[in-house]
Amino acid sequence: MSSQLHCEPAVLIVGGGPAGLSAAVLLGLRGVDVLLVERHPDASKLPRAHLLNQRTMEIFTDVGVADAVYALSPPEDRWHRVAWHTTLAGPAVPFGQRIGALPAWGGGPDTERYARASPSRYANVPQLRLDPLLRTRAEAVCGPENIRFHHELTALSLSDDGAGEGAVATVRDRDSDESYEVHARYVVAADGGRTCTDLLGIEMDGPTGLLDMVTVRATMDLSEWISDDETLLYYFINPDGRGSFAGALCAMGPDRWGRETTEWAAHVGYRTTDADRNDLPAVLCRIRRMLGVPDLDIEVHAVSHWELEGVVARRQRKGPVFLAGNAAHRHPPTGGLGLNTAVQDAHNLVWKLDAVLSGQATDALLDSYETERRPVGEFNVRHCLTNAGGHARIAAALGLRADQSEEEGWDAVTEWFADTAEGDAKRAAVTEAVASNADDFSQLAVELGYHYDAGALVPDGTPAPEGKHPLRDYVPTTRPGHHLPHAWLSHGGSRQSVHRLIAPRGLTLLVNAEHAHRWAEATQAAGDTGATVHVRVIGTGTGSEWTDPDGEWAAVREIDSSGALLVRPDRHIAWRAPDWSEDRPAELRRSVCSVLGLQPTQPVPAVPSME
């Protein structure tokens, strides 16, 4: 056992993907001593996830990589569409036909409402390019010696070191084959469920082994058969002998997009019993058949197999260990929520770990991590599983059935083009089936509207608002447990989001300028608990540092000008006071204690009533 590498960080992070690296940066920026270990020597060469929704990009602004991510993302007019095809090419109809298309990820008719919802915009960067950015940032913030790639967790035991619950991990340096011990107060298990869940005996619930998906990252020149520069993702539905869903194709850039894209990720699904799923020449033949280009030159860069499943861990906390990302929930890619949910897990957890480690909160706060995040993971997995069935609706509308021969299937697709009443009916059914997939690609309520009904918050008894379409229509609200609505304010002559007012440590109280003195005094009373509460003032006149000149904040705050909002570092509302009253100082104090797991020890000083 090596003693040179032995260390005792406050937090050990297992896994160097987006969840683990984001957690490392966010903890490091707060001054928390962190060690991250990742069993692989480098970032993956595989595309993996690529869609980064607005909530994740807000977090990446905190992490300090948002600008670099946007620089790698395609131009806005090159990726906000998804399309379904029979094939890209072929000898005659019905080969090489577009079945339908939808705007996606905040593009087309969604552009304005997505822009109103967040200060950040969507991005599209595959993990093989994202993860190196996060690793570089983590090394800069935490020190390269604390971000250890090619170091593998081999054992994990929970212990009591006399100063609170902790963990002892055994880690192997895969370069030197030496092992060493890590004693940590807390552990973030973000290893994709490869090791920690097994070591801890935590089981996963949900369907597994739905398909063995094979992804081939390759250079292919498809410019001859693509005339659409706006589509990023192509789905292929045809009776190729393996079911109606033939596979998918995603543009990878990296420098040119649309028809000029040179790098692609092709995805084809196999049953786990298919013998040819591990035969690369057979897989490439299948991709050529999917595209309808039998002699296509494919320069392979990487190949991976991954299991299509939808599972959730039965628990996300066991003592000092917290599961995050794929270790806690694994989604089908339909919906693009896997990576995003992982980063959002980290964002929820890090401020709580920091609050406990800095003495601002008790360990009870950490129980809220599972209370809040597990329902989100469960919902997202269900939603992605539902989305995965959307292709079957299109296939059924085309008349494709599992019991057909390939010839019968193509005959059914050909009827889609017939100038007959049957053809008209089939075209209408296909159009409706394509439109029914919008929940996969226009899901702002899922991406921005997720909220917590219990946890580190004080409910106020109001119902959660809901739009006409509960998955697509995001309704901004300051109801406790919800994300702080975005509004543009003026600060120093520039436009800034109200999100910029939220402190990364401690709680933040947002108040209106004309009543700020009352709330400042009330906050002093809450501060007697030992908790830090920052007062941030929003005004309407020239005397205020932050102003609401266009009334955007007034339109979404849902409280009187004398009220206040208590906001957590992850920008979720912890408590709200609709207005001022003599009871508010005591309520604020109780709320701060409730959120942080503290016990009030002193009386509340008197605060003068409003005149």
How do beta strands 507-512 and 123-124 pair?
unpaired
Q: Does 607 score more than 60 pLDDT?
A: no
Which H or E run includes 90?
none
pLDDT given for residue 245 in this prediction: 86
Handedness of CA 329, 330, 336, 340 (dihedral sign): positive
Q: How confident is the model at residue 2 (pLDDT cuts 50, 70, 90)?
A: low
Mean pLDDT across the stretch 344-350?
99
CA distance 31 to 9: 12
Chain Cα centroid distance, residue 195: 22
Euclidean distance between CA atoms 374 and 378, whole angstroms: 6
Looking at residue 540, what is its pLDDT? 82
Average pLDDT over residues 166-175: 97
pLDDT at 1: 62
76-88 per-position pLDDT tens digit: 999 999 999 999 9
Class of domain 75-122+209-308+399-450 (CATH, top level): alpha beta
Q: What is the pLDDT of residue 5?
A: 76
**pLDDT by residue (tens digit) across 101-129?**
999 999 999 999 999 999 999 999 999 99
- Quick one: pLDDT at residue 272? 85
The whole-number average pLDDT for the span 316-323 is 97
Assess whether pLDDT exceeds 50 at residue 603: no
- Ranges of CATH 3.30.9.10 domains, the chain: 75-122+209-308+399-450
CATH numeric code, 11-73+125-205+311-385 = 3.50.50.60
Count of residues making up the chain: 611
Confidence of residue 164 (pLDDT cuts 50, 70, 90): low
* CATH 3.50.50.60 segments of the chain: 11-73+125-205+311-385
0.75 exceeded by pTM: yes
Please give the pLDDT value at position 524. Answer: 86
Across 453-525, where does the E strand assignment appear? 488-491, 494-497, 507-512
Class in CATH terms, 453-611: alpha beta
pLDDT at 608 over 60: no
pLDDT grade for 241, boundaries at 50, 70 and 90: low
Confidence of residue 242 (pLDDT cuts 50, 70, 90): low
Tens of pLDDT, residue by residue over 582-592, are: 999 999 999 99
553 pLDDT more than 50: yes
Question: Is pLDDT above 70 for 99?
Answer: yes
Q: Could you tell me where in the chain the CATH 3.40.30.120 domains are found?
A: 453-611
Provide the pLDDT for residue 243. 63
Percent of the chain at pLDDT > 70 equals 96
542 phi, psi to nearest 5 deg: -70, -15
Mean pLDDT of 342-354: 99
385 — pLDDT class (breaks 50, 70, 90) = very high
Q: What is the mean pLDDT of residues 305-327?
A: 96
Give 45's pLDDT tier (boundaries 50, 70, 90): confident
Query: What is the arithmetic mean of pLDDT over 469-485?
Result: 98
Question: What's the CA gap between 277 and 312, in Å, rounded?
Answer: 27
* pLDDT on residue 303: 96
Which of 26-30, 156-160, 367-371, 425-429 has the weakest average pLDDT? 156-160
Q: HEC states along 386-403?
A: HHHCHHHHHHHHHCCCCC
Q: Where are the beta strands (DSSP E) in 494-592?
A: 494-497, 507-512, 533-538, 546-547, 564-567, 573-577
The pLDDT of 208-229, averaged and rounded, is: 95
Average pLDDT, the chain: 94
